[in-house]
Amino acid sequence: MVDEQVRHDFERARQKALVHELLSIVRRQPNELIPYHEVRRRLSPERESYRGFQTVPIDNIVGSVDRFHDFDRAFLPRRGNTAGRWKNVDRAYYQDVRLPPIQLYKVGDVYWVKDGNHRVSVARERGVEFIDAEVIEGHVRVPLYASMSAFELLLQVEYAELLRLTDLDRLRPEHDIRPTALGRYDEMWDHILLHQEAMSDLRGALVSIPDAVTNWYDEIYLPIARVVRERKLLEHFPNRSEADVYLWVIANRLALEERDGLEIDPESSAALFADSVERESKLSAKIGRLPRIVRRRIRNATRPRLRPSGP
């Protein structure tokens, strides 16, 4: 009788997983667990601590160390090869066998399973809200929540790493640097390191990271951000941020300096970028009612040499 019920439970869980998969395709929303290595590739926690045994909300478990392909975001089994262990865990519930605590890594308010993926899956399927776990916590400066999408969470992880490297949240607590794509914080860190090198060459002595960070923010990032606000550039890019435009401006600035052999200050480079965007916008408005093929030919013939590299 128990074996039959266990088999039925697993088949029901697999059917739910299939429905979730179909819905994710229709809605174009990811349905995967977040791999822990994707977090650690982007983040070095400032410190780790052993938290011992705790009772953890199951809904806050968002990923896995090594079984992220076997379960979906709701920890439903995606593969038939999980059946044996899944059924054994389910059978233990029916037989009132106490299972050992799972092992979790915690970052922010979310968790990744180091050991016990099948126990999490069965417990969620049974409606269990909390589970006993042995926890190791990595400490970061920004909040992470289970309600975040995988993209939002990884973007926040990259932001935490920038803060760890730069102390920008302490040096310039009023900052608001929020790019909208993964990998952009790494680009900014590269800019800061290059700025540190240039400052050191100019002064004839090694400039510290804090000095380089504050000078980069005050003398490069902020002047560009002010132009973005004054020229209302984000009206042309409603789904982007000041940080995105900063990166496009820097890319175009480097291209212009290489082409012309002249150094351009950050504010002027931002103004040139804004001029280009406004010309492009006016051109688009003028030809907006023409047939598509005509619009394309006109744009190709009249496109300004300096234009946004991002969108």
For residues 173 and 144, state if they share a domain.
no
Q: How far apart are CA 245 and CA 180, in angstroms?
A: 10
Q: Are 57 and 8 part of one and the same domain?
A: yes
- Give yes or no: residues 137 and 179 share one domain: no
Domain annotation covers residue 161? no
Domain hosting 171: range is: 167-302
Share of the chain above pLDDT 90, in %: 77
Query: Does residue 157 belong to any structural domain of this protein?
Result: no
pLDDT averaged over every residue in the chain: 89
Q: What is the pLDDT of residue 255?
A: 82
User: Model-level pTM greater than 0.75?
Assistant: yes
Considering the domain architecture, whether residues 180 and 89 belong to the same structural domain is answered as no
Tokens of residue 32, six digits: 């995967």
Same domain, 196 and 232: yes
Task: Say yes or no: 276 and 171 in one domain.
Answer: yes
Tell me which H or E stretch contains 155.
helix 150-166
First vs last C-alpha separation in the chain:
60
For residue 160, tell me if it sits in a domain: no
Single residue among 86, 118, 150 that ends a domain in this structure: 150
* pLDDT per position as a tens digit, 1-42: 898 999 999 999 999 999 999 998 998 888 899 999 999 999
Give the pLDDT score at 288: 54
pLDDT of 282 = 74
Answer whether residue 132 is part of any domain. Answer: yes
Question: Which tokens hold the place of 166?
Answer: 């730069």
7 and 143, same structural domain? yes
| CATH (domain of 138) | 3.90.1530.10
Domain contains 70:
yes
Same domain, 130 and 25: yes
Tokens (6 digits) for 231: 């020229």
Are residues 75 and 189 part of one domain? Answer: no
Residue 27 lies in a domain: yes
Domain total for the chain? Answer: 2
- Give the percent of the chain with pLDDT over 70: 90
* Per-residue confidence (pLDDT) for residue 307, from 0 to 100: 43
> Is 264 exposed, middle or buried, given 0-12, 13-18 or 19+ CB atoms closer than 10 A?
middle
Q: What is the mean pLDDT of residues 215-222?
A: 97
| Sign, CA torsion 265/268/270/273 | negative
Q: Are residues 229 and 119 in the same domain?
A: no
Which of 119, 150, 181 marks a domain boundary?
150
* Whether the Cβ atoms of residue 139 and residue 45 lie closer than 8 Å to each other: yes
Q: Does residue 127 belong to any structural domain of this protein?
A: yes
Report yes or no on 89 lying in a domain. yes
Same domain, 142 and 94: yes
Residues 177 and 272 reside in one and the same domain: yes
